[in-house]
Amino acid sequence: AQSVSQHNHHVILSEAASLELGCNYSYGGTVNLFWYVQYPGQHLQLLLKYFSGDPLVKGIKGFEAEFIKSKFSFNLRKPSVQWSDTAEYFCAVIETTDSWGKLQFGAGTQVVVTP
Amino acid sequence: GAGVSQSPSNKVTEKGKDVELRCDPISGHTALYWYRQSLGQGLEFLIYFQGNSAPDKSGLPSDRFSAERTGGSVSTLTIQRTQQEDSAVYLCASSFLSTNLGQGETQYFGPGTRLLVL
């Protein structure tokens, strides 16, 4: 069965530090990849997505992610975080043999940015 | 524009009671999904609607769970004889229907219904 692994459950860092969150998936076929964010008290929002083309995708709020097919990875990065980036981040995958678009989520990474 | 809305935002019920959770998708979105977010299981897929039909019910955890969608719009998730393990946040998402097999469309999530079964 498909699984999505996020390497860290909790990350604490200071403002202006760089952030990288790891995501790996186990499916060997073609995938669509997403990062969603859930700010405190808010609902899930899309940060960025990869369907095809340039493996380096840029999203909102200065986030980017790189799809490395050979490593089954889709890591999220931000060069300099802000206090407002405190949130929970979810990696998600759609297996493209599944035309229904069912999202399979990782366990999430709680990110806390300290002033 | 209006996003996905869900009601109620919070629901407290007693074990054994039935509950109904409602989802209003974004206008024009023909695909609708229910997910569940719980401490032990993370975010799990429950059911998918394409229009009013549900071609994928594979995530429903038991036959106490059912869902319907009417008019290609509003969806209701019903949990019968609720159990304490049903306590979770139930999320609804909607999207345009993918025209390309194997390519999903971006799903937009509602705020969720927080269900507590006592």
- Closest chain A residue to B55, measured at CA: A100
Residues of B in contact with A100 (CB under 8 A): 31, 48, 50, 55-56, 104
- Which of A30 and B44 is assigned the larger pLDDT? B44
Residue-wise pLDDT tens digits, B80-93:
999 999 999 999 99
Contact B79/B86 with Cβ under 8 angstroms?
Answer: yes
Q: Identify the segments of chain A with pLDDT beneath 50.
A: none
Cis peptide before B8 (omega within 30 of 0): yes
| Predicted pLDDT of residue A4 | 94
Does A105 reach chain B within 8 Å, measured CB to CB?
yes
Residue type at B101 in one-letter notation: L
Chain B residues within 8 Å of chain A (Cβ atoms): 31, 33, 35, 42-45, 48, 50, 55-56, 59, 91, 93, 95, 98, 101-112
The two tokens of residue A23 are 């995501």
**Cβ separation of A98 and B42 shorter than 8 Å?**
no
Q: Which residues of B22-60 are buried (b: 16+ CB within 10 A; e: fewer)?
A: ebbbbeebbbbbbbbbeeeebbbbbbbbbeeebebeebb
Whether B111 sits inside 8 A of A43 (CB atoms) is yes
- The domain limits of chain B are 23-103
How many residues would you count in chain B?
A: 118
- What pLDDT digit, counting tens, does each position of A70-91 carry? 999 999 999 999 999 999 999 9
- Closest partner residue to B109 (CB to CB) among A43, A99, A104 is A43
A–B CB contacts, 8 A cutoff, strictly below: 67
- The confidence score (pLDDT) of residue A3 equals 87
pLDDT band at B100 (very low <50, low <70, confident <90, very high): low
Could you read off the pLDDT of B48-80 as tens digits, one per residue?
Answer: 998 898 888 889 999 999 999 998 899 999 999
CB nearest to B101's CB, from A34, A99, A107: A99
- Please give the CATH superfamily to which domain B23-103 belongs: Immunoglobulins (2.60.40.10)
Residue B40: per-residue pLDDT:
74
User: Is B54:B67 a contact under the CB 8 Å cutoff?
Assistant: yes
Domains and CATH numbers, chain A: 4-114 (2.60.40.10)
CA distances for A110 relative to A9, A71, A87, angstroms: 6, 23, 6
